[in-house]
Amino acid sequence: MMKLCIIDDEWISSFIAQKLILKVVPDSEISHFKNGMEAIEFIKENQLKLWSLPELFLLDINMPVANGWDFLDMLHDLDIRDYRPLIYISSSSQDQEDIATAKKYPSVAGFITKPLTPNKLAGIFDNIDPQQIHKS
């Protein structure tokens, strides 16, 4: 079973992503957070139980409290040993600056523009190497 996390403040975007993920990867456990701070708090609380943390994130950029860039910076600062989840930016932004910024983060595996589709998600899951996902 794969553990996935959607970080997005838009309820409808999260709902659609969850439904699409369950179609593409029916055997998945999905968590949801409305902003980067909520997700970071969850990770902090569970950092000694790596098996309980998401292996893949779909991360929106524009959110209140802590946006996608804030989340990436805070996750990097946590520096949790042996925890290197795959992170895909999932944004309605097609701004080249956002795409370029995403590429500056080694933890970001890709940038997907909304709306999400089964083909876009299948492209992610088809390219996942099980060795990329490390859980202790």
Q: Are strands 2-7 and 28-33 parallel, antiparallel or unpaired?
A: parallel
How much is the mean pLDDT over the chain? 91
The CATH class given to the 2-132 domain equals alpha beta
Which portions of the chain are predicted below pLDDT 50? 134-136
* Domain extent listing, the chain: 2-132
Q: What is the pLDDT of residues 72-108, one digit of tens each?
A: 999 999 999 999 999 999 988 888 999 999 999 999 9
pLDDT at position 135 is 43
Q: Is the dihedral of CA 37, 38, 41, 47 positive or negative?
A: negative
pLDDT at position 22 is 93
Kindly give the residue spans of alpha helices, DSSP state H, lying in 79-113: 96-103
Q: How far apart are CA 40 and CA 27, in angstroms?
A: 24
66 contacts: CB under 8 Å, gap ≥ 6: 35, 36, 37, 40, 74
